[in-house]
Chains A and B, each alone.
Chain A
Amino acid sequence: MHDFYQTGWWAVIWSIIKIVIVVVPLLLGVAYLTLAERKVIGYMQVRLGPNRVGFRGSLQPIADALKLMFKEVIIPTSANRFLFLAAPVLAFVPALLVWAAVPFGPDVAISNMNAGLLYVLAIAGLGVYGIIVAGWASNSKYAFLGAMRAAAQLVAYEIAMGFALVGVLMLAQTLNLSKIVEAQAGGGFWSWYWLPLFPFFLVYFISGVAETNRAPFDVAEGESEIVAGFHVEYSGMAFALFFLAEYANMIFVSLLTTVLFLGGWYAPINTPLLTWIPGLVWLLLKTAFLLYVFLWIRATFPRYRYDQIMRLGWKVFIPVTIAWIVVVGIALETPMRAILR
């Protein structure tokens, strides 16, 4: 039966069905993440957040989406018309493409490819084109400043991110995301990679916050200094696509951190009661927790100054990751190898 789905036109139709199964819940997740963000930050700031549309504001994302769809897309007269409209698409498409390799369970993915980790790293870096092109095509100084900041920030943090992933590779010995999770099986939360690779776990997650342009690293938007940065000139659905891409990337970074460092779909303690709960539930629970951390960070920290961001990326994260790669490399040549692998 499995072969039947992998031959001829059935393979195409089966792939489309799998894509729909992933993308529709993802877009719903994005919609309700915006509501969760407003609610969580609201309560942290002793407010209620949206509470008028639907039961306690539960239909607010739908109302927002409808409003954005009916708004006019304004194109500035001196903007480069084609690139101005292409930029939101360039931001949104990579945000969806990365989900092709994401595993939701043992060998459950749209494409369970061998080089999954490399694919994810390569595609996730493409989102910045949307931001850079938007900044340039808008023909506006604020938008351009935002684009420049985004480009510099992305290049700085992608290196630290890549080094953090090298540590995962050294322990898992595979680029296949599904097998990386399986390599963390065994005991419970103490056999996941966050423990031996704790510096990488922190660096990866913080770099993830920086790569998605979220507070406190959101200098590309920086509404207090450069109005709204790269998307200053955008309105309606064109703006909504940037928004969708940012939130889809947030969910993606959280899910990938779960897969790489928090044991993916494994229960935190290996007892029958907890392992009876399906793996997908654990995966989503861990992802939801990391998403909450995203919002928590945003409500807690003030925006970094631009030079501080560059210093953190180049002078702190990169040396820390290189040092820990050496430590892991040495540890793998000692009897500790049996524990780590």
Chain B
Amino acid sequence: MIITTILFYLFSAILLGSATAVITARNPVYASLFLVLAFFNAAALFILLGAEFLGLILILVYVGAVMVLFLFVVMMLDINLTRLKEGFLSYLPLGLAIAILGVLELAVVFWTSPLGHIPAPGPIPANADNTRALGVLLYTHYLYPFEIAAVILLVAIIAAIALTLRRRQGTKTQSIDAQMAVRAKDRISLVNLRRPEQ
């Protein structure tokens, strides 16, 4: 399939290009939009591999929700480009050290574990339904790890809310219960204004 090969190299090239642009773009808003493009092309690669569930979930979760919130925050920053460029040289040694460490660790993992020797995927059977296949695996064989991961995420959600929730004094908030419980007779009283009999 020559078309698939061409598409693979096209999507990979855009993916690598936009991933590079994420870290080189000066403007944080551009950087997040490039990250969206990178996610999109990664999803396209998944779909080329026949893993349509992973590809679509990547778009749904990362592009549709996570990056929207990222942009939400990044856009509210007061972008001062000159201040962002300051201190590049002083951070360079630390950044380089972390980058080299990351590359080394990845290299060790790929050389020593079977991860580096995965055979190329065979031809995709027509009408393969990998959503069902993943679901069956997750809810039978990997049920406990899956549930434990879910509980850890739930704990993280609650912890994040508990850490940021603070009740400030003096803010005016609506009490929805009180609003819903209001009845007409609480607000209006009809007064009989007829003139008394002489």
Contacts and interface: CB of A to CB of B under 8 A. Distances in A.
A62 interface: no
B60 A121 contact: yes
Nearest to B27: A80
Nearest to A113: B52
Contacts of B69: 151, 155
B64 A126 contact: yes
Contact of A151 (B33, B53, B72, B174): B72
Contacts of A30: none
B20 interface: no
A132 B72 contact: yes
A311 interface: yes
A248 B69 CA distance: 25
Nearest to A159: B65
Nearest to B72: A151
B44 interface: no
Given A125-B60, A126-B63, A129-B36, A115 B131 contact: yes
Nearest to A162: B60
Given A129-B36, A155-B65, A122 B56 contact: yes
B48 interface: no
A114 B127 contact: yes
A138 to B, nearest CB: 12
Contacts of A144: 75
Contacts of B157: none
A307 interface: yes
Interface residues of B, number: 23
Chain A interface category by residue count: 20 to 34
B65 A114 contact: no
B57 interface: yes
A109 to B, nearest CB: 15
Contact of B53 (A115, A135, A147): A115
Nearest to B65: A155
B59 A123 contact: yes
Nearest to A132: B71
Interface in A140-164: 144, 147-148, 151-152, 154-155, 158
A128 B29 CA distance: 15
Interface string A94-124: 0000000000000000000111001101110
A113 B57 CA distance: 15
B176 interface: yes
A136 interface: yes
Given A132-B68, A151-B68, A158-B65, A115 B52 contact: yes
A79 to B, nearest CB: 13
A123 B127 CA distance: 22
A168 interface: no
A311 B56 contact: no
A125 B64 contact: yes
A230 to B, nearest CB: 12
Nearest to B179: A308
A307 B174 contact: yes
Contacts of A136: 29, 71, 75
Nearest to A315: B176
Contacts of B75: 132, 135-136, 144, 147-148
Given A122-B60, A136-B75, A114 B176 contact: no
A119 B44 CA distance: 12
A175 interface: yes
A148 B52 CA distance: 31
A128 B65 CA distance: 10
Contacts of A113: 52
A320 B59 CA distance: 26
24 contacts: A114-B127, A114-B131, A115-B52, A115-B131, A118-B52, A118-B131, A119-B56, A122-B56, A122-B63, A123-B59, A125-B59, A125-B68, A128-B68, A129-B36, A129-B71, A132-B71, A132-B72, A133-B33, A135-B75, A136-B29, A152-B72, A155-B68, A158-B64, A175-B131
Interface of B: 29, 33, 36, 52-53, 56-57, 59-60, 63-65, 68-69, 71-72, 75-76, 127, 129, 131, 174, 176
Interface of A: 83, 113-115, 118-119, 121-123, 125-126, 128-129, 132-133, 135-136, 144, 147-148, 151-152, 154-155, 158, 175, 307, 311
